[in-house]
A and B are shown apart, each in its own frame.
Chain A
């Protein structure tokens, strides 16, 4: 059971937009910045978003992040088949004194 809650799966058609939610509490998301990771099949996770809404160099602006209260959201527009992957959120939990992650969301581009 992960500390942060994500939907197990989402799906959408190519070209469409999808959002992935990450729900936490005051102990974590409510008081820390959120990062998002993309894990393509058979590869290591890759940083997509940090500090809630910032993109590292090389990450297209089709990927966006936001945070409100104790929840965060990853948005992906202009979906491509190459976006099919698992997506994880992560943050610091001050109660646990640990980095915590969501259980991951599998994105299927139909």
Chain B
């Protein structure tokens, strides 16, 4: 059974960098069969896709956040990471990592998801 688990600080100060890691068990990122993604959910429900990363390090970022987002992958430790810089209160959200079993972007879906981690941006 594939499981994903997010980890990282729950509180980040404005203007600083949010850093999260997603540890994967039950599947190997290096198999190259899936993309790996970050999605966040703002307090009032809405889901926002942040981007994908492939085992090779190829990334696809949401253009609305592209200038602030960096994703990386560590196949040796089977995890991938998110960095979001220059955060503001608007970045307060539950952050999820998810596996994306897709052949092309038009078939994208997310399964499974991690349990999510709340990140609050506040001084």
Contact = CB atoms under 8 A, between A and B. Distances in A.
Interface of A: 2, 31-33, 35, 37, 43-47, 50-51, 56, 86, 88, 90-92, 94, 96-101, 103-104
The 4 closest A-B pairs by CB, nearest first: A99-B49, A35-B109, A47-B111, A50-B109
A104 B110 contact: no
A101 B107 contact: no
A50 B114 CA distance: 18
A44 B114 contact: yes
Interface string B6-45: 0000000000000000000000000000000101000001
A35 B110 contact: yes
Contacts of A90: 47, 49, 108-110
Q: Which of B47, B64, B111, B115 has the most chain A CB atoms closer than 10 A to its own CB? A: B47
Contacts of B106: 31-33, 92, 94
A78 B110 CA distance: 26
Interface residues of B, number: 23
Interface string B85-123: 000000000001000000001111111111110000000
Nearest to B110: A47
Contacts of A91: 108
B45 A98 contact: no
Contact of A56 (B39, B46, B108, B111): B111
B107 A51 contact: yes
Contacts of A103: 45-46
B113 A44 contact: yes
Given A44-B114, A45-B96, A46-B113, A101 B47 contact: yes
